[in-house]
Amino acid sequence: MTLNLERRALITGASSGIGKATALAFAEAGIHLALVSRSRSRLDAVAEQARQFGVKVQVCPVDLAEVAQVRSQIATIADEFTPLDILVNNAGMGYTGSLIDMPLADWQQVLNLNVTSVLQCIQGVLPGMRQRHQGTIINVASIAAHQTFPDWGAYCVSKFGLLALSKTLAAEERAHGIRVITVSPGSVNTPIWDTDTVQADFDRTQMLTPQVVAQSILHAALVPQEAVIEELILMPNTGTF
């Protein structure tokens, strides 16, 4: 699928999982890319694959956990990679553990990466989008933005918060021609299940694949500018989590 109109997208968490799959889906659709993640080497590998579709790809190593620096770093990328049409806030972390035992530092880490860094990314791109009276911001949330799960309290709070951020942003920016989309997948078979902060024993073969989620993100991004898919909940066909 090739677009007649050139578009540019910035994708966070682009080195693996949903972010990587979205980068490749966007590249195949002819969308130029700015890829953000911590690891330059892993981003370079994704960029090499994406460039095979003939698009321009800029690699941008940023540690989104360093929230005080994120806004200025993303603003710089957006200024260099202009005009930026699409922002996909995909980066985030999982966390399991009961609320009664959760250390404050862990709580703050989850909220910083899953909510605060998203706000900072949004603030980095909004001025340019407002100036052009056009832009699409896609926030990747979770089914945990709509229902709670025991031992996933901090994660659920962060995703409920992200959904509220999206809804408020949509109300504020609609008059400026900016669309805000929330994509909430059920469980997705990504490296999040292999991280030290997640202890869960699920059948990953029954989960969504990153590629399926990426196609849904691409579809939402390419809806004609006069319309918007405000919320998209994507669940595995098996009907579980």
Q: Which residues are catalytic?
A: 155
Q: Using CB atoms within 10 Å of the CB of residue 193, give its burial: 0 to 12 exposed, 13 to 18 middle, 19+ buried.
A: middle
Q: Put residue 214 in one of left, alpha, beta given phi > 0 → left and psi -120 to 50 → alpha.
A: alpha
Is 210:17 a contact under the CB 8 Å cutoff?
yes
What residue spans of the chain are helical by DSSP H? 17-28, 40-51, 67-80, 104-111, 117-132, 153-173, 210-221
Alpha carbon distance 10, 55 (integer Å)? 13
The alpha carbon of 68 is separated from its chain's Cα centroid by a whole number of angstroms, namely 19
Sequence letter at residue 18: I
* 8-25 burial: b if 16+ Cβ within 10 Å, else e: bbbbbbbbbbbbbbbbbb
